Amino acid sequence: MRIATWNVNSIRSRIDRVVAWLEANDVDVLAIQETKCREDQFPGLELSALGYEYVHFGLNQWNGVALISRVGLEDVAMSYADDQPHFGDPAHLEARSIGATCGGVRVWSFYVPNGRTLDDPHYTYKLAWLERLHAASSQWLADDPQAQIAMVGDWNVAPTDEDVWDMSVFEGHTHVSVPEREAFQAIVDAGYADVVRPHTPGPGVYTYWDYQQLAFPKKRGLRIDFILASPALAARVDSAFIDREERKGKGPSDHAPVVIDIS
């Protein structure tokens, strides 16, 4: 079974690419982030025509997450916990999590808050969001140590210096701060392994390149999109890759798809 994650940066502007990529890559489950649309705007017909089911959580032009599956889509949840942190004025549950059971695997599509700057309320929100996810996902494994769980998406954290094209440029910025890295590592330490990195060793291996300043051809990227797997699922991972070819051509997302194959 093949599971993938991809921040598409607007599903409406990227639907032709998504359809072509699904067809070309024999994908069973695709987790999407940044759909940037409401339910009624989601281009579901194109996906149904390919034989996929889908679930989407989108409130407006911001955020938005979806799961697309051809191996079933059951027990859908729009938040990872009842107390997933809220944000905004008035504070509300943002469209940043969607989970479903697909082919026996509990798959979560996450769009972790960006943080913006280290002194922004959005940064505090980001840390709380990750800390609460750590608590919730730890409990899932406590409840069932054999659980098949994939937590995938845009984590907006570069866990190691190798995941950043030039650390000096990111001094004092989000994505690389110690609290963010500790929050990410806590989830790994709880038992959720990065199952892509062993198959795609760095340095210079990224999943995101800014649209500006020719970042992609200059190889100035970040590794911030991850597939974290519970122990029982991690044991089934045969291979993985980052499809950086998808960052090329006319009208790409600024993120590349990340893919695993499990037995």
Partner DNA sequence: ATGGTCGTCTTACGA
Contact set with DNA (CB under 7 A): 9-10, 12-13, 36-38, 60-62, 113-114, 116, 122, 210-214, 216-218, 248-251
Give the shortest CB-154-to-DNA separation in angstroms. 8
Nearer to DNA, 127 or 147 (CB): 127
Give the shortest CB-116-to-DNA separation in angstroms. 5
Give the shortest CB-158-to-DNA separation in angstroms. 13
Nearer to DNA, 142 or 211 (CB): 211
Residue located via tokens 């149904």: 48
Q: Which amino acid is it at 252?
A: P
Nearer to DNA, 51 or 217 (CB): 217
Nearer to DNA, 153 or 191 (CB): 153
* Three-state secondary structure of 105-154: EEEEEEECCCCCCCCCHHHHHHHHHHHHHHHHHHHHHHHCCCCCEEEEEE
Give the shortest CB-236-to-DNA separation in angstroms. 31
The Cα–Cα gap between 75 and 100 comes to 5
The Cα–Cα gap between 108 and 97 comes to 7
Give the shortest CB-18-to-DNA separation in angstroms. 13
Whether 198 and 224 have beta carbons less than 8 Å apart is answered as: no
Nearer to DNA, 80 or 155 (CB): 155
> Between β-strands 105-111 and 149-154, what pairing exists: parallel, antiparallel or unpaired?
parallel
Burial class (CB in 10 A: 0-12, 13-18, 19+), 119: exposed
